Chains A and B, each alone.
Chain A
């Protein structure tokens, strides 16, 4: 059981979501986020004043999946989210100790 966190371009959300559902991922959480990695931000002008905007709008996906689904999910995200340009985002993977379904107290992989 592992957690996949992926920060992607907002415009790629629909493609990524569809690709994940296709390989059998059953649930995910989406957050609107702002952030930056190596990508430099952009500048905005308001009445001649220049503002450097270095935190750019991103979408963050969080999903917890069974171990055997991790690699297919990662591949699905990469394929769907890649444009090849700087700013495509990152994926982080971590171990999950326990999952609990609140409705009926089911535990473990069956609960994700």
Chain B
């Protein structure tokens, strides 16, 4: 696996510009002329969200748009918290996300290690079946998945959001591949010393696997935090909703309150954004090595 160095090391592809066109050179790289406007376009939706979230209702309903609000109306944020069970949605999302991340880290580590290092009966076939589920789009199987969760009595509970997501083929595959790159000599030495498989996994393998575990954690966090379709199908009661579903309800109820909707949106995005800035390299590695957004 290539280590997450995409951000850190760039290799300029073309050589230095050919000489002979001197005199007309800019004091900076001409690429800024392309990249700066691109950056602005990419950031406009996010910046505009921040601006409208602190505007008054009248300012959001003005043409031409008001770029500088009369005052920073932070009370929009507190008003959202009063108007909707927003803190409840936040808590629900946090519970579901934490449980999914923890479940994936534990169960995918155990299974990934078994598939990587232990020769057990049926290993190849089972692994192939696990991989097969990676290829199936969720939309194709959402109806029977709903029926299974219903039969388990978990519809309209957080369990419906947690249990099916406690382990996934993506995590098993990612960790198996990573474990296989570790030097096997350490594990063999520990086995000769009489260590159990579990002991080796937790004392030797996992401490060496921090980058892969972080990648899995970050990807699972983002996927679970942002998931919409599955909660939409399984959750009906407002008090069991996650943020993505809550935002949809909120938008339906307060359609014209753009400023409040934007404040709610900023708050719902904040944890993922913070995680992105804190763990950018793991985000990028998670995407670069697997290709999974959600």
Judge: A and B partners, yes or no.
no
User: Using a CB–CB distance below 8 Å, which chain B residues touch chain A?
Assistant: none
User: Using a CB–CB distance below 8 Å, which chain A residues touch chain B?
Assistant: none
